[in-house]
Structure 1
């Protein structure tokens, strides 16, 4: 039965399955390799999602600016009132839509880092194979370190959502505030 191990998991629940884990993973090194591969895989998924999201947002910004620059005397005023607002709404919706996938990848990476950290704390001898210093220092395997590196991906949808709200409000304001031009 699959389980998720969290900081609140009792220590007895972790030690009850050590024999089972030994059968799945040949050694602590195998477990560490598995955790690192999972972290790398999920990090690449997060990077791909962030790249796709940023690409979509950049095309929306280009379309928005092009729509605001419409100077057609017959229908340009109505066009610059409606189209940029729809593009801003699309930007907001795509930000809301991208957030769950980006957050899920972040949570999975967090889970695998936690498991790796627990393994490194429970098997301190792993790093002593070649020298007297640990393979991973506390700084390298701490939550704070990798979380800072993932903040860009996690914050980007919210930053763009605020950007689209402000840009949409501004586009509406300049069209309604100056109706004669």
Structure 2
């Protein structure tokens, strides 16, 4: 039944009214949450893939620059270019982190909403848990966080990698 919303209407009534209109049933809400999780997981995977591709090309360029044996300009080249590439790797790692972390936070948000829905709707939770395709491990926060650790840790691992490699390149050229 339509209601008139005035400035005196409490916020929780307005939000529940909006939610009731947006989602006709808990099943529709669950489907919506799962689509959002899938969409954000795809974004996270694409960001991680692009980042790893860029890092692999930087590693190849770094190794190629370090193996320069040209007698006339090779020593200057290996003194300047590899540390520059390592700096580029550090900067790309620092640039990749916010996007990867943002996607992770959004996935965490939708995962939490999905878990709360399954706990708040006992009949749906039971039907969901009885299905052989779904299990509690699939909806727990710990499980989904573990599945995203690779994407979260990769920029930090490469950041450390580039700092060590850049320092090593400078050390062997200057000593």
Provide TM-score, normalisation by structure 2.
Answer: 0.88
Residue 135 of structure 1, CA deviation? 7.8
Q: Is contact 2:119-2:125 (8 Å) kept?
A: no
**1:108 aligned partner:** 106
Partners in 1 of 2:13 and 2:133 — Cα distance? Answer: 23
Structure 1 unmatched runs, 5+: 1-12
**1:121 aligned partner:** 119
Partners in 2 of 1:130 and 1:91 — Cα distance? Answer: 45
Write out per-residue CA displacement over residues 136-178 of structure 1, whole angstroms, 9 at most, x where no aligned residue.
Answer: 543221110000000000100000000000000000000111x
CA RMSD of aligned residues (A): 2.2
**1:48 aligned partner:** 46
Structure 2 unmatched runs, 5+: 1-10
Partners in 2 of 1:80 and 1:131 — Cα distance? Answer: 60
Provide TM-score, normalisation by structure 1.
Answer: 0.85
**SS where residue 123 of structure 2 aligns?**
helix
Could you say if the C-alpha distance between residues 135 and 79 of structure 1 is closer, same or farther in structure 2, counting changes exceeding 3 Å?
closer
Partners in 2 of 1:135 and 1:18 — Cα distance? Answer: 31
**1:79 aligned partner:** 77
Poorly superposed stretches of 4+, deviation over 6 Å: 13-16
**SS where residue 74 of structure 1 aligns?**
coil
Residue 20 of structure 1, CA deviation? 2.7
Aligned pairs, number? 166
Task: Check if 1:91 corresponds to 2:89.
Answer: yes
